[in-house]
């Protein structure tokens, strides 16, 4: 299972929200690059980088942060937030993103995302399936669509996607445990799905439980910044699971 630390950016700083509420923003570090270097120094290989201003406003705002992290670390970066056009996608890749997460745009413009899939292939794209009471939410989680999570994911699996980041918004930033029931339901009938859990991780025990449940990855944000999960514990988890 991939361990993927998260950096969410507003005005160039590392922040975390609670349940996607921008009014509950808490800043943890003024320099995202230094935080990324800390992750890399503890043996982590991946990074989930989100431009929260881009997600909310519909256009990339913090591309310079992506460029700095990609240019000064060896982390494999998936980037999201504000990707609405082919120019946005190209800019993210040119700035150093290894993968781009398609969230709001996948809900609003499936034909555009299909064209990206044909051009870049499924290795370069991740589907963002953010769930609010079982429905897909978009635009920094400020809007809820009429799309149910399972059928939404199925529609993209049929097009060739295989990686999906699924966040239960009610749990995000709450340190109350991941949405195990949702993830188990999604995995039960979708054997080809590489499902990445996001939101709610509160302890290293949650990480082991997600691994046992068959998740392909786990994004960890607030638990790292608050010290509920340590980088050393994640390093030991990777050593144990990689050896087994």
Question: For helices 63-72 and 32-41, what crossing angle results, to 10°?
Answer: 30
Q: What is the CATH number of the domain that holds 211?
A: 3.20.20.70
Closest by CA position to 67, among listed 58, 55, 52, 79: 79
| Catalytic residue from among 8, 51, 78, 168 | 8
Share of the chain above pLDDT 90, in %: 76
Give dist(CA 71, CA 75) in Å, integer: 10
Query: Per-residue pLDDT averaged across 38-50, rounded?
Result: 96
List Cβ neighbours of 110 (8 Å cut-off, separation of 6 or more). Answer: 155
Is-contact 96 71, C-beta < 8 A?
yes
0.75 exceeded by pTM: yes
Does the annotation mark 8 as catalytic? yes
Give 7-16 pLDDT, tens digit per residue: 999 999 998 8
Q: What is the pLDDT of residue 173?
A: 67
Residue 58 pLDDT level (bands cut at 50, 70, 90): confident
Does the annotation mark 172 as catalytic? no
Residue 17 belongs to domain spanning: 2-243
What's the structural domain count of the chain?
A: 1
| Catalytic residue from among 78, 88, 130, 172 | 130
pLDDT at 48 over 70: yes
Is-contact 208 238, C-beta < 8 A?
no
Give 16 or 100, the one with higher predicted confidence. 100
Q: What is the pLDDT of residue 140?
A: 61
Q: What is the pLDDT of residue 121?
A: 97
Residue 68 CA, distance from chain mean position = 19
Q: Which two tokens stand for residue 47?
A: 């990074």
pLDDT at 32 over 80: yes
Share of the chain above pLDDT 70, in %: 97
Give 174-191 pLDDT, tens digit per residue: 678 999 999 999 999 998
Query: Per-residue pLDDT averaged across 225-235, rounded?
Result: 95
Give 112-148 pLDDT, tens digit per residue: 999 999 999 999 999 999 888 889 988 766 778 999 9
Q: What is the pLDDT of residue 41?
A: 96
């Amino acid at each position: 299972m991939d361990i993927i630390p998260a950096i969410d950016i507003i005005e160039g700083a590392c922040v975390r929200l609670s349940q996607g509420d921008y009014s509950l923003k808490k800043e943890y570090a003024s320099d995202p690059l230094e935080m990324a270097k800390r992750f890399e120094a503890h043996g982590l290989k991946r990074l989930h980088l989100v431009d929260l201003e881009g997600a909310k406003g519909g256009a990339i705002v913090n591309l310079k942060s992506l460029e700095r992290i990609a240019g000064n670390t060896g982390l494999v970066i998936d980037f999201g937030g504000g990707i609405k056009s082919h120019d946005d996608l190209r800019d993210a890749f040119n700035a150093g993103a290894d993968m781009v997460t398609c969230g709001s745009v996948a809900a609003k413009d499936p034909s555009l995302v299909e064209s990206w899939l044909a051009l870049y292939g499924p290795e370069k794209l991740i589907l963002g399936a953010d769930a609010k009471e079982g429905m897909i939410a978009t635009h920094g989680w400020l809007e809820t669509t009429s799309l149910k999570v399972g059928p939404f994911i199925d529609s993209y699996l049929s097009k060739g996607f295989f990686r999906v980041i699924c966040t239960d918004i009610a749990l995000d930033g709450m340190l109350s445990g991941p949405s195990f029931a949702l993830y188990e339901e999604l995995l039960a009938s979708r054997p080809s799905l590489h499902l990445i859990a996001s939101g709610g991780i509160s302890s290293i025990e949650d990480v082991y439980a997600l691994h046992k449940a068959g998740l392909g990855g786990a994004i960890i944000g607030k638990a790292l910044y608050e010290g509920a999960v340590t980088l050393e514990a994640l390093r030991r988890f990777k050593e144990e699971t990689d050896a087994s």
